[in-house]
Amino acid sequence: MALSAHAGSETLYIQHFGNEEARGLQYYLKQMNGYSALKKAFALKPDQVIDEVKKSNLRGRGGAGFPSGVKWSFIPKTSDKPKYLVCNADESEPGTFKDRDLMRYTPHLLIEGMVIAAYAIGAKHGYIYIRGEYAREAKLLDLALEEARQAGYLGSNIQGSGFQFDLTVHRGAGAYICGEETGLLNSLEGKRGEPRVKPPFPATWGAFGSPTVVNNVETLCAVPFILQRGGEWYAKLGKLPNSGGTRLFCVSGHVKKPGLYELPAGAVTLRELIYDYCGGILDDRKLRAVIPGGSSAPVLTPDEIDVVLDIDPLMKIGSMLGSAGVMVIHDGCDLVRLIYRITKFYEHESCGQCTPCREGCRWMANIFKRILDGKGRLEDLDLLLDIANNINQKTLCALGDAAAGPVKSFVTKFRSDFEARIRG
Amino acid sequence: MPSCTIDGIKVEFRDGDNLVEAAKRAGISVPVFCYHPGLSVVAQCRMCAVDVEKMPKIQTACSTKAVEGMVVSTKTDRVKQARESVMEFLLVNHPLDCPICDKSGECDLQDHSYDHGSAYQRSTEERRTYVDLDMGPVIKKNMNRCIHCTRCIRFGDEVANIREMVAIHRGNNVDITTVDGKALETDYAGNYADICPTGSLTLKDFRFNKRVWYLKKTPTVCEGCSRGCNMEIHEERNQIYRCLPRENMEINRYWLCDEGRFNYKYIHHPDRVLSPQVQEGNSWAKKDWFETMASWKSGFRSKDAVFLVGTDLTQEELQLILHFAKSEMGGVPVFHFGTPNLPAANGDGDSDGLLKRKSKTSNLHGAEKLGIAPFQTLPAGKTQVVVFRGGRAELPRLDRSLKVTGFGVFLQEEIGQFSAVFPGASFAEKTGTVVNFQGKEQTLVRAILPVGESKLLSEALMLWKNQSLASGAA
């Protein structure tokens, strides 16, 4: 694993990754000034905590990039119902592996972030919904939770503040769709992991029909830093006006040094990440394509890699930063097989509720398979684009878009690859 | 009332109406598959796409509430395109077996395909197939035809109070099935077939019996209990093929229980008494009406007689009998019967928390309104009993020594102790009024002519009263 930092700028997490001692409470207290942010938060009113997070320009790290403070402020103040805080640790987007290390090496950071968030929204109980495959991390989290309980950072009357909060680790059973927040909530409630009709949004009707905030692991891990050092400080860490803090980039594929990179939000271009940080393309081959934000992000060509790696710039060129899973592809890769494999993934992971996604993903996968088997037809390509357009934005949740985006971008941007394969 | 605009028409809507319902008020039909007004909204078939002003994406009408001033269009190009694409997606895997499918002719998938789909098919991939399980005696499942609307799952869950239909597996492989593959348990299973928007769940009883477009539909009322669920009788050439629920929000909403749905079976039962019969020794002699009436009448003595009337008769029939007993027979006492151990309407009540009532006949409340007392014991000195019965009321136990005559609908096995039977009309063969447990008067409408030599009660009593006139006419 390569660990690196942007020249001259601070990193929050990555220096602790790889250090097994970091996961203990003592390390967290001594080396990371642990649970001091909590004390600061308790001195503020919940609304003031939310304001601080708003000031920080922290945007959700799960994929959608929604401003976190704003999300918290949607929780109704007057509801009689209990409120829930849920950490989305499903990390199911292919190409993403940042939350795993956060939970593995800095679990107390997550716990402290969750206690602060719970205080801000008035939750007394929270859940960490962790993907089933992260069995080891789930165990580590449970150990850390027990440490926190023993030390009075969880439970009733936390640190004498009168505030009560506890956490439950809930393991998923291996479904991509349970990373979608309402699918996650259904799964948490013991139902089929299927996204819900929105509205109502989780802020009013979330876990067990109660107001709920669902935040990604990395998002919650940023919260202690924001409280410790102020929202403005965090906002300034980012290099773009509305995107604060640092980001963990998960680089995989054909680069010389794949791994996690923590960089200030909006500080580098995709080209810089690939060539300056990751040492360039594996075997010094030619770059062919980059998927910048997990497998659901539309693919970029080598001409497009001068884009600044952040939420808005990537959206502007028709792709997305998503969960910052950067997958680099060199010219030795069969793009037809690659998009078939990606499509197959979404076909397999579609929950099956919405017609366009359920039927369309299988149909597209079948067509790609046919092309790979040498039975493709040139008109298949326009048909594929049509199918993708008919799925895109026409489903309950974003899985449809996630399946359609890659197909549209691969077939459009690399059409000649497909035509060559069809002609044989 | 608040109003919005749909396709340029100003529509007044009720608070809470979604756009499907609001459009309905303006006479605009929005195509739906998963949406059903009696079930929760899941917005997953995506067929009801509409354009709403100021919303960037197309919206599903079922999950969008009408709002004051909202401007909606159901006819924009992208709405048409979205619906066409949903139809295309649904038909990627749906078999083109309409010619052998029972649903054909009343199939939402077929109808919407004509209205919103394309005539051309672009998919050339192999279709998805399933192995089907047996779902018990009521419903036949054909999963290959399923479009995953989940109406059946929600019906069980939300209406029938039983979670027996479920979705298993995921995505394209979802199988809509029963828990652990068990047979359906609910007595409301017929509704699964009614609400299925395609031929995936069909009634075993109706299967391959009749193409639906030949059926004539008569709106009527179920006689199965005192609720009086509204239903339709579907018949062709005087043969009833099925009964379906008819919407009535105050009585049965959209549903019908299986007991009521299949209650009509006795009408065409091979053992139904369809001609006048007299017991001679140990065997039954079938004779014509006039002969039977003449010989039976000679043995009838009104001063020894009691009339027992089923609470499955209509108000008109009961009044006629009351009048006949009093004015023509010199005051024969009249008592009602129908549901064992339920003599009075105040003992009637809910029996399953859904539709069924304790009173197993349609008109207990009406009979009581007419002042008819329940039958308990025979008044002293009475030796003859005339039983008037629609077909549903359970016959009272009568002493073997009595001379019993039946007017109405009977099965051969029920008339062992009778001395004569005059076949009458069932609820489907006559028109009349019944009063349900809420005191609502509802109309039974004749769907078929009386089968065989059965006669309406008014005709039978006319023959009784004036045998010579009838003979003369004959």
Q: How far apart are CA A210 and CA A205, in angstroms?
A: 5
Q: Which residues of B touch A370 (CB under 8 A)?
A: 125
Using DSSP, state whether A340 is helix, strand or coil: helix
Q: Is residue B353 part of a domain?
A: yes
Residue in B with minimal Cα distance to A345:
B171
DSSP B5: E
Per the structure, the count of domains in chain B is 2
Residues A91 and A100 sit within 8 Å (Cβ to Cβ): yes
Q: How far apart are CA A334 and CA B197, in angstroms?
A: 43
Distances (CA, A) of A49 to A66, A118, A227: 18, 10, 8
**Over B421-463, what HEC string results?**
EEECCCHHHCCEEEECCCCCEEEECCCCCCCCCCCCHHHHHHH
Q: Mind telling me how many Å the CA of B171 is from chain A's nearest CA?
A: 4
Cβ–Cβ contacts within 10 Å for residue B303, how many? 12
Look at A396 and B43 and tell me if their CB atoms are within 8 Å: yes
B144 lies within 8 A of chain A by CB = no
Q: Which residues of A touch B92 (CB under 8 A)?
A: 359, 362-363
| Token pair 């009249």 in the structure block, residue | B334
| Token pair 């439950």 in the structure block, residue | A168
Residue in A with minimal Cα distance to B82:
A390
Q: Which residues of B touch A354 (CB under 8 A)?
A: 44-46
Look at A349 and B171 and tell me if their CB atoms are within 8 Å: yes
Q: Which residues contact A250 (CB under 8 A, 6 or more apart)?
A: A95, A96, A97, A98, A259, A260, A323, A324, A325, A326
pLDDT at B47: 97
Q: Is residue B440 part of a domain?
A: yes
**Mean pLDDT for chain A overall:** 95
CA-closest candidate to residue B407, choices B325, B319, B314, B307? B307
Q: How far apart are CA B289 and CA A211, in angstroms?
A: 75
Q: Is residue B399 part of a domain?
A: yes
Q: Is residue A20's pLDDT more than 90? A: yes
Q: How far apart are CA A63 and CA A68, in angstroms?
A: 12
CA-closest candidate to residue A238, choices A227, A228, A247? A247
Q: Give A 108-167 residues with CB within 8 A of chain B.
A: none
Residues A110 and A37 sit within 8 Å (Cβ to Cβ): no
Q: Mind telling me how many Å the CA of A387 is from chain B's nearest CA?
A: 8
Percent of chain A with pLDDT over 70: 98
Q: How far apart are CA B294 and CA B474, in angstroms?
A: 13
Q: How far apart are CA A33 and CA B337, in angstroms?
A: 85
Look at B89 and A359 and tell me if their CB atoms are within 8 Å: yes
Positions in chain B whose pLDDT score sits under 50? 470-474
Q: Mind telling me how many Å the CA of A356 is from chain B's nearest CA?
A: 6
Residues B358 and B367 sit within 8 Å (Cβ to Cβ): no
A344 lies within 8 A of chain B by CB = no
Nearest to A356 among B86, B169, B170 (CB): B86
Tell me the count of A-B CB pairs closer than 8 A: 88
| Token pair 């791994």 in the structure block, residue | A259
Look at B46 and A355 and tell me if their CB atoms are within 8 Å: yes
Nearest to B125 among A347, A354, A363 (CB): A363
Q: How far apart are CA B277 and CA B455, in angstroms?
A: 14
Mutate to test the interface with A, among B46, B91, B121, B122 (most CBs of A within 10 A): B46
Q: Is residue A378's pLDDT more than 70? A: yes
Residues B352 and B188 sit within 8 Å (Cβ to Cβ): no
Residue in B with minimal Cα distance to A400:
B171
Residues A5 and A14 sit within 8 Å (Cβ to Cβ): yes
Residues B224 and B392 sit within 8 Å (Cβ to Cβ): yes
Mutate to test the interface with A, among B89, B121, B129, B177 (most CBs of A within 10 A): B89
Pick from B37, B68, B90: which residue ends a domain?
A: B90
A356 lies within 8 A of chain B by CB = yes
Mutate to test the interface with B, among A178, A194, A355, A363 (most CBs of B within 10 A): A355
Nearest to A350 among B45, B147, B172 (CB): B172
Contacts by B96-101, CB closer than 8 A, 24 or more apart: B97/B145, B97/B199, B101/B142, B101/B145, B101/B199
DSSP A276: I
Pick from B46, B70, B90: which residue ends a domain?
A: B90
ipTM: 0.93
Phi, psi of B357, deg, nearest 5? -115, 160
Q: Is residue B368 part of a domain?
A: yes
Q: Which residues contact B287 (CB under 8 A, 6 or more apart)?
A: B275, B276, B277, B278, B295
Pick from B90, B109, B137: which residue ends a domain?
A: B90
List the structure tokens of A346.
């979404």
Per the DSSP assignment, residues forming a β-bridge with A308 are A269
Mutate to test the interface with A, among B20, B48, B81, B85 (most CBs of A within 10 A): B85
Distances (CA, A) of B87 to A196, B99, B121, B233, B338: 23, 19, 10, 32, 51
Q: Is residue B416 part of a domain?
A: yes
Nearest to B171 among A348, A395, A396 (CB): A348
Q: Is residue A1's pLDDT more than 90? A: no
Q: Which residues contact B401 (CB under 8 A, 6 or more apart)?
A: B383
Q: Is residue B80 part of a domain?
A: yes
- The enclosing domain of B444 has a CATH number of 3.40.50.740
Look at B170 and A390 and tell me if their CB atoms are within 8 Å: no
Q: How many helices (H) and strands (E) does chain A have?
A: 17, 8
B48 lies within 8 A of chain A by CB = no
Q: How far apart are CA A390 and CA A407, in angstroms?
A: 12
Range of the domain at B394: 277-473
List the structure tokens of B333.
């006492």
Q: Mind telling me how many Å the CA of B91 is from chain A's nearest CA?
A: 9
Cβ–Cβ contacts within 10 Å for residue A15, how many? 16
- Residues B213-254 have pLDDT tens digits of 999 999 999 999 999 999 999 999 999 999 999 999 999 999
pLDDT at A6: 59
Phi, psi of B127, deg, nearest 5? -80, 150
Q: Is residue A2's pLDDT more than 80? A: no
List the structure tokens of B417.
């102790």
A361 lies within 8 A of chain B by CB = yes
B88 lies within 8 A of chain A by CB = yes
Burial class of A360 by CB neighbour count within 10 A (0 to 12, 13 to 18, 19+): buried
Q: Could you write out the DSSP letters of every residue in A261-274?
A: EEEETT-SBHHIII
In single-letter form, the type of residue at position B228 comes to G
CA-closest candidate to residue B90, choices B228, B198, B10? B198
Cβ–Cβ contacts within 10 Å for residue B98, how many? 17
Q: Which residues of A touch B150 (CB under 8 A)?
A: 353
B458 lies within 8 A of chain A by CB = no
Alpha-carbon torsion B251, B392, B136, B128, what sign?
negative
A353 lies within 8 A of chain B by CB = yes
Phi, psi of B100, deg, nearest 5? -115, 15
Residues B234 and B102 sit within 8 Å (Cβ to Cβ): no
Look at A192 and B89 and tell me if their CB atoms are within 8 Å: no
Q: Is residue B164 part of a domain?
A: no
- Residues A42-74 have pLDDT tens digits of 999 999 999 999 999 999 999 889 999 999 999
Nearest to A352 among B46, B90, B172 (CB): B172
Look at A355 and B90 and tell me if their CB atoms are within 8 Å: yes
DSSP A67: B
In single-letter form, the type of residue at position A129 comes to Y
Look at A361 and B171 and tell me if their CB atoms are within 8 Å: yes
Q: Is residue B294 part of a domain?
A: yes
- Residues A327-357 have pLDDT tens digits of 999 999 999 999 999 999 999 999 999 999 9
The helix or strand, by DSSP H or E, that contains position A126, with its residue range, turns out to be strand A125-130
pLDDT at A8: 64
The helix or strand, by DSSP H or E, that contains position B290, with its residue range, turns out to be helix B289-298
pLDDT at A294: 95
Q: Kindly report the pTM of this predicted structure.
A: 0.93
Q: What is the largest CA-CA distance in chain A?
A: 73
Percent of chain A with pLDDT over 90: 96
A394 lies within 8 A of chain B by CB = yes
Strands A287-291 and B283-286: unpaired
Q: Is residue A226's pLDDT more than 90? A: yes
Alpha-carbon torsion A294, A296, A301, A304, what sign?
negative
- The enclosing domain of B57 has a CATH number of 3.10.20.740
Look at B123 and A363 and tell me if their CB atoms are within 8 Å: yes
